[in-house]
């Protein structure tokens, strides 16, 4: 977990009655968990085209944000959405570094709460890092390079928050 996200309080939301009715309540059996883990482990889907589609969506959202079209909250949502997809799918498709960097960026966006040129530059850096990971087919934590990428991304976010007197919640 990133330094940024470690210091933010987490809200837990209870599932709605509709979701509980669809998914059920109670514990998931150990057999079902093992079955799901096996499916994830044996997964051979090529993540790169999926991730590139998310990056294409991110590029479009960034372009719209730079033109300042629409409400700021909508622009922020449109930037956040493809990053959420990258975070949620990266590890499943054996690209945990993509998920970890996306977590750092999402936590930052939730904390910054606005889109100025510096925020957009940080999102650009995130996009460039993900593209580099995909190009190198870095299907792991990335070793020393991955650690350096995460540290630098966290540092950039921290510097922005310090510069703009934004405290972590």
Q: How far apart are CA 133 and CA 127, in angstroms?
A: 10
Question: What's the pLDDT at 26?
Answer: 79
Classify residue 24: in a domain, yes or no. Answer: no
R_g of the chain computed on alpha carbons: 17
Neighbour tally for 102: CB within 10 Å: 26
Q: What is the CATH number of the domain that holds 105?
A: 1.20.120
Q: How far apart are CA 50 and CA 56, in angstroms?
A: 10
CB 127 within 8 A of CB 84: no
Longest CA span, the chain = 51
**Secondary structure, 3-state, 47-89:** HHHHHHHHHHHHHHHHHHHHCCCCCHHHHHHHHHHHHHHHHHH
Classify residue 34: in a domain, yes or no. Answer: no
Output phi, psi for 16, to 5 deg: -70, 165
Domain that holds residue 123: 47-163
Classify residue 33: in a domain, yes or no. Answer: no
Q: Considering the entire predicted model, what is its pTM?
A: 0.80
pLDDT tens per residue across all 169 residues of the chain: 445 545 556 677 777 888 777 777 878 888 888 888 888 888 888 999 999 999 999 999 999 999 988 898 999 999 999 999 999 999 999 999 999 999 999 999 999 888 999 999 999 999 999 999 999 999 989 899 999 999 999 999 999 999 999 886 5
Number of domains in the chain: 1
């Amino acid at each position: 977990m990133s330094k940024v996200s470690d210091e933010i309080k987490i809200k837990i939301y209870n599932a709605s009655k509709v979701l509980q009715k669809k998914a059920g309540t109670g514990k998931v059996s150990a057999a079902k968990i093992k079955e799901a883990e096996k499916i994830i482990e044996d997964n051979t889907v090529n993540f790169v085209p999926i991730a590139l589609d998310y990056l294409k969506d991110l590029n479009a959202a960034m372009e719209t944000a730079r033109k300042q079209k629409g409400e700021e909250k909508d622009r922020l949502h449109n930037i956040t959405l493809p990053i959420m997809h990258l975070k949620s799918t990266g590890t499943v498709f054996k690209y945990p570094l993509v998920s970890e960097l996306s977590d750092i960026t999402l936590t930052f966006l939730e904390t910054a709460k606005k889109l100025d040129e510096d925020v957009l530059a940080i999102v650009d850096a995130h996009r460039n890092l993900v593209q580099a990971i995909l190009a190198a087919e870095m299907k792991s934590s990335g070793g020393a390079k991955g650690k350096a990428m995460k540290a630098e991304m966290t540092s950039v976010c921290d510097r922005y928050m310090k510069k703009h007197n934004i405290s972590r919640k």
